[in-house]
Amino acid sequence: MAGPRAGRRVGAGGGLSAGEADDDAAVVLPITDELDLHTFAPRDVPSVVAEYVQACRARGILRVRVIHGRGKGVQRAEVRRMLRSLPGVAGFADAPPASGGWGATVIDLTPEPADSGPR
């Protein structure tokens, strides 16, 4: 059975899916303006965040709150290190205190370029 720490990817169905190679069952997370990383294995966090942010951007969601927790700041640092090099990220900062403070990062995204189609 696929557990909360299984590998994850953005699925064609429009959500983030979880599955293991030996199990076709998947858990699909809807793409919204919030992602809670507590259910993901630390090794999966960079790719999960990158794929989730790109999926949000593709859907026109231009502000995303990523909840990484307070702890020692390792997840926060990893998320922010990845965001610095991710295309489409306009900026990021700690969430306001009422929304998680330094236990969450708010990411501002740029809109995807409009597809002008064939000329």
- pTM of the prediction? 0.75
The residue with tokens 């909840």 is 67
CATH number, domain 32-109 = 3.30.1370.110
| Per-residue pLDDT tens digits for 92-105 | 999 999 999 999 99
If DSSP codes are grouped into helix, strand and coil, which group holds residue 27?
Answer: strand
* β-sheet with 15-20: strand ranges across: 8-10, 15-20, 23-30
d(CA 43, CA 41): 5
**Contacts of 30 by beta carbon, 8 Å cutoff, 6+ apart:** 14, 15
Structure-token pair, residue 4: 């909360």
Residues recorded for the chain: 119
Instruction: Centre a 10 Å sphere on the Cβ of residue 118 and count the other Cβ atoms it contains.
Output: 4
| Per-residue pLDDT tens digits for 79-93 | 999 999 999 999 999
- Of the pLDDT bands very low, low, confident and very high (cuts 50, 70, 90), residue 29 is confident
Inter-residue contact 16 to 48 (CB < 8 Å): yes
- Of the pLDDT bands very low, low, confident and very high (cuts 50, 70, 90), residue 52 is very high
With 70 as the cut, is the pLDDT of residue 118 above it? no
